[in-house]
Structure 1
Amino acid sequence: MISAKGIAAFSAKEPLGPWSFQRRSPKDHDVVIDIQFCGICHSDIHTVRSEWGDIQYPLVPGHEIAGVVRQVGPKVTKYKVGDHVGVGCFVDSCRECAHCKQELENYCLKGMNATYNSVEKDGKTPTQGGYSDVIVVDENYVLRIPKNLPLDRAAPLLCAGITVYSPLMHWKAGPGKRVGVMGLGGLGHMAVKIARALGAEVTVLSHSDKKKADALKMGAHQFVSTHDHSVFQELAGTFDLIINTVSSADLNMGDYFGLLKLDATLVSVGAPDKPLTVSAFPLILQRRNFAGSLIGSIRETQEMLDFCAKHDITPEIEVVSPKDVNTAYERVVKSDVRYRFVIDMKKL
């Protein structure tokens, strides 16, 4: 076994605090990674606070992991000691179902093994995430981080980056396509940067003007404040694709469906803790589509990292010390971060 130390949640109401635990000894195909940085995702907070269901505590969150290979198993062929690597939202899958065989492990029919709040391949050992100093992962679920991506800025790509890259690619964002991005937070600002690099015309749809300058600086062609409801009439039938990154259920989705062209799609990647209310008529009247997308596969995630390295795309981050995680959580809830917190795990 490998001794590990981390930052854990002990209940839905308590602050996170220090915790020592054990990682498994590396098997033939395992990679031991010294974690240097881990991003804070809003889903970490939802999970820690048991807003998405019951949790087995203690729980070490974190699925935006960047680090350096410390050790490899005897049959590892993809990585060597010293490599810069990452781990995203899952650390294994069944490898046998139709989706896994199509390299869509994120949609594993038996359920992927999530990086935390899940179980290991043995079906009983709890997985613990990246708010820690070390992790052991099968080489097939590890990502190579290109050398020109700094590890602190690479970390959020493992969730925020891939979560928007996958639907942008699946629904073919690119030249001649008009893409709307709902919300300019951790996911939204990455959607703007990636969609712009793909050659799409990008519009940010936000409830206020506070982030207009940021959006335009990041590459958005237009910024629209939806606080003025008349914009929904002015922009009706405008977009080929809308990426909804907002994690709030307090949205009139019919307004946003009305912004889509005939046969166009609105994809939700934000995950509210309450159900959305959806009216069918705006979809029916123009044969529009309402879809969802879950992170991305290992292949897609590696493709995304390479794309970001090629186009010099990195998230906007604020690096915090492990001792400041609870404060960072409160700031995330208040939308007081531009645009992703990253924990310096070297200071653990």
Structure 2
Amino acid sequence: GRESAHLTPTLSLMPGRALPTAAAACGLASFVLLSLHPGSHVAAPAAQVRQQARVATTSPGAFVSRSYRRALGDIPAPRGCAAGVAAPGAARHAAPTGKPGEGLVEGDTVLLMGSLDAVGRSLITKLQDSGKYKLSTLLNPNVVTPFQNRYASINCIDATKAEEAKAELGKAAMVIMAFEKPADTDTLRYLLGYGAEGETALKRFVLLSKTGVTRKGNFGGGFLKNLFTKELDKYYDLEDLLQKGAEALKVDFTVIRSGNLRLGPDTYMIADSLAAAEEQLFDAKFKDIVVSTEDTEDGDTSRYDVADALYESMLRPEAANKIFSVLNKEGKAKPDWDTLFKSF
């Protein structure tokens, strides 16, 4: 919010003076547009600063952010590290204790981010119903206790306690970011930074994203949807950071892109009877699923089916290092996940 106050340059005209011609008005508009462009020599200083790499300055962000960036080679090791000696957080990369290329096995721990959203809660149900895996989540301190009271079997960690968060990630075989809206890239950067510290059992990061990411610049694709919310830009940045981070940590990644999210645990709370009826009709008519590795179309996706896709992808080695979309289509056949994943 403080940045945005400085992004728009203001041009004041002398009182009582009007622009004499339409050409002058066009010139003024051109200058304003030019000044707003970050690469312009006349851009406001704040706009130019935004192009520089961001470094978190709050604890624990600064610590893990620098550790993770050092692991990627973006910043030099401290002076105390002699030439040829790995910087802190980089040593684990040569011999990760996790086993990339593998899926979940019984007894593994899953660390879920986004457990308060409907997709996350649907995924919790899937994992708990299986009875095979341990589940933990990072939460803001004000919701840890009520969430723990509701889900006694989940290990709820205060996200502001860095050491506890790192210790929990050290146990996790899978880390899932299942937020229904794009998270800040710093959230993912912190998790990757935690993964760079000490030994972990980590096998894979899994990210819930959105269809249209690769078409966000196409006028007929995601351009209009992205114009005001910048949602696809944010998902694009998350996907890019995840792939680079997974490569640096020598672990796998999976990205699942959904369409517009429908249904879910909160459907019964819809007060508008017409909207509730539309959701029920969607549930009755669009039960079939299309899975594609091409980001070529948009549509709707049930939150239950997205949760199923996230769950099934964690079990399957063939989903490692893959990006695919999940959309509902007309039909009443239940998805055959074995067949769908073999299509990869």
What TM-score do the two structures reach when normalised by structure 1?
Answer: 0.34
Report the structure, 1 or 2, having the larger strand content: 1
Bigger proportion of residues as helix: 2
Structure with greater Cα Rg: 2
